[in-house]
Structure 1
Amino acid sequence: MKTIIQLNKLSKKDYKYAGGKATSLAILLKNNFNIPSGFVITTTAFDEFLSYNHLRAKINLELSRKSFEQMRWEELWDTSLRIKNMIIKGKVPPGLKKQVKEIIITKQSTPWAVRSSSIAEDSHASSFAGLHESYINVIGIHNLLEKIKLVWASLYSDGALMYRNELGLHLENMNMAVVIQEFMPGESSGICFSVNPLNYKQAIVEAVFGLNQALVDGDIDPYRWFINRKTGSIMNRKTSMITQKMVTARNGAELIKIKQSEDITPLKDSDVHRVYQICKRSENLFKIPQDMEWTQADKRIFVLQSRPITQQIKKENDQRPWYLSLKRTFTNLENLKKKIESELIPHLIKEAKELDNLDLTILTDKQLADEIEKRKKIVDKWEETYWKEFIPFAHGMRLFGSIYNERIKPEDPYEFMKLLKGQDLEAIKRNKRLKKISNLIDKIDQKTPINHRSKDKLNTEIDTFIEEFPEISIGIFSNEEMRTYIKKLAKQLKNSKKPNEENVSHLIQVFYDSVPNSERKYAVKIFEIGRASYQLRDNDNIYMGRLKHCLEKTMKEGIKRLKNKYQISLVNLNPIDISSLLKNPKHQIKQIKRKNLKKSEGKIKVSQIVGQPASNGIASGLARVIQEKKDLFNVKKGEILVIDAIDPSMTFVIPFCAGIIERRGGMLIHGAIIAREYDIPCITGIADATKIIQTGDYIHIDGDNGIVGIRPKIEK
């Protein structure tokens, strides 16, 4: 099969090599629709690219590291990042490079649109809309070849991998064609649904000023017309005060502000009818309702894409819509950053402080019950905000990482994380304060006789520490117990690792130098968003931990009051049960029976396991397996921490650990972030880590390759 075919030479039988988008465009072109001229890079070219760079086996190895069903979204993104970086760094075979050059030799200054045309794309059963990358206003052979590679790489985007797995498609031999067309900088653009998915008697036309990308990305709310399918008349319209439009910029596009008069719309009513009639023609041609992308240039309507409207049955517990919503545009992230930094975080901190200042001992039982319910509602409200606002902002790191890798093409796909380190993380602040306590203890131990003023200073420092970082108590210890445990922890911090404060200014400058001067402002902003996202990824959980601590305090006070009234265990009661018992002693509660595992139970005998490398380095030591949060206070210096999932309230033990093994996976999880701050090897994504490994096993951890060696402890 040829590696390049002109669109006007393409036929329906070439679908296997040209993909859905290219084949649909070719059919429209042959039926006299206005289609920008162009050609398709076939799947044969992609196969040749993979073979030329010896990538197919490497990609399949990454895809087989762990079952997709067991992967969290962070792990899926990590897998995607590693594969995409392989493709971005790859070399375009000389033969393909020569063919592309010959086609555009007479059009060196012509801008092009470069878009995906996957084999699974644009079918009536599934839609890959938004999962693969597209690039517009691409000028010159070098830029064109680079964008072709980026489209190929998007075949392995996290969203595309998840969707293909959901559809049961084979991941090992995925393929991608690329459509390259002359770019049409339209005066207005939009989408038309020949059938409204919510009302089959209607069609919908949407339009914005300028290019379509802002509409597709969700940055601009479009004008919308509802059309009677039977008569073709406009039934209703939804206006929008559009203040921005997408226009061409150097090798791409940008949003600019516009002044809009209320009587000016992106389309006249006559043009709305033209767009609908074209979409209806496409529906008649393909014999299925169409979702058509269009642009208006020089008073002509050009079809950029036409695909079936998919009607998918929503599966129970389907996480895909939420997962894909995590991917945010630059504009969306900028707005989210402002909202989080200036509104949400200050409010969260303030609310936690106000709750923490209340003296619970003066409350009656009923007042305490009401306070528990109130705090439960507050925590639930912030949990919702966390998933809706904070988690999506983590895409700032992902976006910066993707852009950094596209520009720099580093050997290490995670090099960008070095640029994000060294931020003012709450966990690092807390650990530095703990180190200060450690130094005070060391001074006291060296003095003979003991200086009582120094001892008083130490106790004051510990009490201040408990007050400022209440999340460390994990809601299970009294203040007196906490003082003892903090002293124990602080002593182990002597000569422990300090946060790595490597100077990365040269890497930052290399990144800035990799973008044209016209895009420097954007590069600075995306770097700032990446750093803010990195910092918030850890800090938001600490702030949430402090809020939850306020709820735990009321629960602990409630349990304390109830203990003398009931001859049953109150350890596993939830907030509502505690509140109900305080109000009504006859309230019936369900006791949670916890299974006590024997030491041998659940043990899986394995000598070596493989996970995801999350922080480089090699270390050996005895394992400390964390089954409950209070086990953290038994961690000894030089041990390998083995845990299901680390949250920021637990990271105070990291400085004196030799390494970390975590069941939860990903480069963006808290354990991995703090491990990199301290240059401690870390491996994540090991299923059943706390069952496979036991406390006392001798562990060798290779954070460069994600390998854990296990030598079981000798039972006495």
Structure 2
Amino acid sequence: MITLQESLSPSEFGNKAASLSRLIQYGENVPNGFVIHKDWFEAFQQGRLNIAHFKEALENALKSLNAVTLMVRSSAIGEDSDENSFAGQLESYRSAPDVTSVYENTLRCWKSYSSQSVKAYENTSGHHLKGMAVVVQEMVDPDFAGVVFTRSPLADNELLVEYVTGHGEKLVNGDVQPESKTYVRQDYQVNCTDSGAFKSLVDICVRLEVSFGVPLDIEFAVKDGIVYVLQARPITTEGKGVTVHWSNTNVNENYPSAISPLLYSIARDSYYHYFKNLSKLFQIPQQRIQRLESSFANVIGVFGGGMYYNMSSIYNIFYSSPFAKQLLGSFNNFVGHQDESLNDQKVPLVEKFTFVRSVIKHNWKLEREVTLFENRVQGYVFKSEQAISLDELKMAFHEFIEIRMHSWYKASLADFFAMLHHGLLGKLCSKFYGKEAYGIHNQLIQSIPNLVSTKPVLLIHEILKTTRKDGVLYSDFRDMEPDHFWNLYGSKSKEFKAIELIHSYLENWGFRCSGELMFTADNFSDNPLAFIQLLKQYDEINEHDPALQIAATADEAKQIRQRFIKKIWTKYGIVFPVALFFHGLLNLSIRNAMRGISSRERARLKQAQLYYQFKKVIRKIGGELQKRNLLADSNDLLFLSYIEITELMEYSSILPEANLDLIALRKRNYQQECEKPFPDEFFTVNGQIAGSQNEDESNSETDLIQGMSACGGKVTARARVIESISEAYKLKKGDILVTRQTDPGWIVVFPLISGLIVERGGMLSHGAIVSREFGIPSIVGVPSATARIKDGQLIQLDADTGTIKFIDD
């Protein structure tokens, strides 16, 4: 006989006992008790039970319990499993706390194993029990009790509670009509406006569903406001299927257009390793990580050719960690997702301590890890650039896959700490500024020292300055078309310093372009004429020195910090240690937030360089395979997964003769699939194919639009609605840029604009970060902005409040 506090195996103690043990390990309130091993039952069945020995063991076990009434419950092997439930077929009995009563009720449980109802259920279901353990627990005398279905049988997006006053047996037996409560839910967020016991009950049930990984049927009892969990088992009746929430928020910054099967295969597996490795780094318990396999494997999906986050999987992963509510709040802010954060969860103190210790350790190592990642990518670029033969190209191919799948944790730390420290600084700002915190928060992290994201604009300014110093070169630059100018001067680096600077830019920064992770998009290195056209556009606006703009935002940030410090001392100055603490905390929070964002931008720069280099490797491999008649076109590799490419290079495909037909089929289907419309956010039912859905453009008649402020300030100007960076030529000096999303390639047009409005994106999206560096008033996360704002329309952008107002001409 063993206490429920121990880790219990379902094969030895039955699913009911194992589930109760698991609930206790999760920190839930479970009535105290112990379990009688199945070996005693086997001895009873075989007629060799030593009754005196059994009663002696029972008496010793009962000393640990302290209740007027006990419950003696069957825990058969195979009962309450994921596949089936014998609910109602096996018995439970109230019992006095003495040895004789518990012994007699244990015999009754054992005898129910061979009852006619159990045999009939086994014959009907095809599932058979394999033994029986028995649970003995203290009985709670509840104020009310009942059952929760974390996914209502009537509607998958609802959580259903049924309860009665007193013991729950009246509900199970159907003796009374129960009271019920229904709560609307989305993923693992439940809209619960109740307080007290029902709020606690809802929070418990949601976190248990996440921990178990399946919808649950949970029996509970409430006494003096305390919720006791009596049982939790998988819902075995087939319902309507679990709803899955899809969103392209943030992910469309990296993948702005239709992605190829090759890129999807890389992204899908890399996200699996990304989240799993982070979970390991921060020492999430191994058992919990194992239960998240399905979530890790389904972080993204593709609809209409576009990549989407599976927000249900991501919420599940976050919910497995301590401080899940706080982390998800930071994540939503990070990516620009505007859902409410998760319900509170109860986590053992030791688990929180382990997590915090890991966070501190990895935060201390962040700079070193990012530097190692940068060096690894730089080494890859150098080696793969020299690859010529197919064998050398194979090595370059496999090294990219190794970096992306198994060495990315160094870069993922930068993402995590940018998200974490930005969120913590926001919490501190909210404490002192309330609703005004957004603006203050953003201004405090303006002008991050040596931010790599601003270097392209600084270099472009330097190129133009140098070009203007040479009269003949500058005259031809202004008068000639880009192709004529580049044909004449492109090979004259030694003669003209400006041309040397252009070549240097193309080599070191030319890959930094819109769609920089897409294998199908050309960048400035691929197409220098596009860069010359951009330089000509800059020249026309006669822009100010961007370094001076950055310096001005740095001065503004310094003033905001000083005012914040003054506010701290005004509020807490009378209590010197408290004021000193918050003063130091503010400085630390700003420094950590800037360091996290800077590290993330460094990692993203190297990510872009890595993907560009891999794109070149793929093109070379495609050419080699085409020569060997393995491909009809060198670009056809884009329609195979990276594993299929490996098999093709090694002549190890299971159906080698079918590759050409497979590629042709995929190319046809790909075009059809990419034509299907899907909105930015939608829901599907797990196990069902998603049908195309039209975007809800929300053409509201209101003259006011709301979003999230990314960089404060006010400006009134003409809106320029642009679909992609290729339309940047439409911009005039002082326009407000309105677009669906930005990526690193958009930075080169920022000196042209006076304001920024983005449909999709969070506080740490590339557009938000760079707009703060140049002090450009910016609002992100504006639903249907490109549909509701008309090109050329006069608008007022108030980034202090996150509002956009239409102005009558």
TM (norm. structure 2) is 0.45
Query: What CA deviation, in whole Å up to 9, does each residue of 1:616-648 have, x standing for no partner?
Result: 322433524234x65567766544434333233
- Which of 523, 542, 545 aligns to 2:608? It is 545
Distance 2:415 2:471 in 1: 44
In structure 2, the residue corresponding to 1:661 is in which secondary structure?
Answer: strand
Q: Which residue identity is paired with 1:425?
A: L
Contact 1:646 1:662 in 2 (8 A): yes
In structure 2, the residue corresponding to 1:394 is in which secondary structure?
Answer: helix
Query: What CA deviation, in whole Å up to 9, does each residue of 1:356-414 have, x standing for no partner?
Result: 11354642234324422321331233555555662254211211221233246584443
Aligned residue in 1 for 2:426 = 401
Deviation at 1:529, TM superposition (A): 1.5
Bigger mean CA offset, 428-437 vs 497-506: 497-506
Pair 1:541–1:441, CA change in 2 (3 A): same
Distance 1:639 1:561 in 2: 47
Distance 1:162 1:653 in 2: 44
Contact 1:420 1:534 in 2 (8 A): no
Q: Which residue identity is paired with 2:507?
A: E
Aligned residue in 2 for 1:427 = 453
Contact 1:396 1:529 in 2 (8 A): yes
Distance 1:534 1:523 in 2: 16
Pair 1:422–1:640, CA change in 2 (3 A): same
Pair 1:455–1:437, CA change in 2 (3 A): farther
Contact 1:336 1:393 in 2 (8 A): no
Distance 1:563 1:634 in 2: 40
Aligned residue in 2 for 1:44 = none
Query: What CA deviation, in whole Å up to 9, does each residue of 1:600-629 have, x standing for no partner?
Result: x979566754333333322433524234x6
Deviation at 1:548, TM superposition (A): 2.2
Aligned residue in 2 for 1:169 = 191
Aligned residue in 2 for 1:555 = 618
Distance 1:583 1:427 in 2: 40
Give yes or no for the alignment of 1:442 onto 2:468.
yes
Pair 1:645–1:402, CA change in 2 (3 A): same
Alignment of 1:202-213 (within 5 A): none
Q: Report percent identity of matched pairs.
A: 16
Alignment of 1:193-208 (within 5 A): none
Aligned residue in 1 for 2:755 = 659
Deviation at 1:436, TM superposition (A): 1.0
Pair 1:480–1:429, CA change in 2 (3 A): closer
Alignment of 1:9-158 (within 5 A): none
Alignment of 1:477-492 (within 5 A): 477=522, 482-492=527-537
Deviation at 1:660, TM superposition (A): 2.3
Contact 1:466 1:472 in 2 (8 A): no
Distance 2:391 2:399 in 1: 12
In structure 2, the residue corresponding to 1:659 is in which secondary structure?
Answer: strand
Alignment of 1:132-531 (within 5 A): 166-170=188-192, 288=229, 317-323=312-318, 325=321, 327=326, 333-342=359-368, 344-358=369-383, 360=385, 362-383=387-408, 386-387=411-412, 390-407=415-432, 411-423=436-448, 424-444=450-470, 456-473=496-513, 474=516, 476-477=521-522, 482-493=527-538, 494-495=542-543, 498-499=549-550, 500-512=553-565, 514=568, 516-517=576-577, 519=581, 521-531=584-594
Contact 1:558 1:578 in 2 (8 A): no
Which consecutive residues of structure 1, in runs of 5 or more, have no partner in the other structure? 1-23, 25-121, 128-160, 179-196, 199-281, 291-312
Aligned residue in 2 for 1:115 = none
In structure 2, the residue corresponding to 1:658 is in which secondary structure?
Answer: strand
Contact 2:414 2:600 in 1 (8 A): no
Aligned residue in 2 for 1:16 = none
Aligned residue in 2 for 1:677 = 773
Contact 1:471 1:549 in 2 (8 A): yes
Contact 1:642 1:662 in 2 (8 A): yes
Distance 1:421 1:284 in 2: 48
Q: Which residue identity is paired with 1:437?
A: I
Distance 1:647 1:624 in 2: 16
Distance 1:707 1:511 in 2: 24
Aligned residue in 1 for 2:632 = 566
Contact 1:420 1:531 in 2 (8 A): yes
Distance 2:510 2:146 in 1: 54
Distance 2:494 2:393 in 1: 39
In structure 1, the residue corresponding to 2:604 is in which secondary structure?
Answer: helix
Q: Which residue identity is paired with 2:632?
A: Y
Contact 1:626 1:643 in 2 (8 A): yes
Deviation at 1:532, TM superposition (A): 1.4
Deviation at 1:338, TM superposition (A): 1.7
Distance 1:674 1:661 in 2: 13
Distance 1:412 1:606 in 2: 28
Pair 1:174–1:553, CA change in 2 (3 A): farther
Query: What CA deviation, in whole Å up to 9, does each residue of 1:87-135 have, x standing for no partner?
Result: xxxxxxxxxxxxxxxxxxxxxxxxxxxxxxxxxxx999699xxxxxxxx
Q: Which residue identity is paired with 1:657?
A: I
Query: What CA deviation, in whole Å up to 9, does each residue of 1:156-182 have, x standing for no partner?
Result: xxxxx99898454256x989999xxxx
Deviation at 1:354, TM superposition (A): 0.9
> Of the two, which has the highest radius of gyration?
2
Aligned residue in 2 for 1:143 = none
Contact 1:408 1:511 in 2 (8 A): no
Q: Cα RMSD (Å) of the superposition?
A: 5.0
Give yes or no for the alignment of 1:643 onto 2:739.
yes
Deviation at 1:554, TM superposition (A): 1.4
Query: What CA deviation, in whole Å up to 9, does each residue of 1:272-295 have, x standing for no partner?
Result: xxxxxxxxxx999976469xxxxx
Give yes or no for the alignment of 1:621 onto 2:718.
yes
Q: Which residue identity is paired with 1:525?
A: L
Q: Which residue identity is paired with 1:461?
A: L
Contact 2:740 2:786 in 1 (8 A): yes
Pair 1:511–1:557, CA change in 2 (3 A): same
Pair 1:550–1:633, CA change in 2 (3 A): farther
Give yes or no for the alignment of 1:668 onto 2:716.
no
Which consecutive residues of structure 2, in runs of 5 or more, have no partner in the other structure? 1-28, 30-144, 151-182, 200-210, 213-222, 232-290, 296-311, 328-354, 477-488, 570-575, 678-693
Pair 1:543–1:359, CA change in 2 (3 A): closer
Deviation at 1:336, TM superposition (A): 2.9
Q: Which residue identity is paired with 1:554?
A: V
Query: What CA deviation, in whole Å up to 9, does each residue of 1:657-694 have, x standing for no partner?
Result: 33322222432322112112222232221334455567
Contact 1:623 1:698 in 2 (8 A): no
Distance 1:448 1:349 in 2: 37
Distance 1:377 1:371 in 2: 10
**Number of residues paired by the alignment?**
434
Aligned residue in 2 for 1:182 = none
Name whichever structure is richer in helix by fraction: 2
Distance 1:571 1:632 in 2: 31
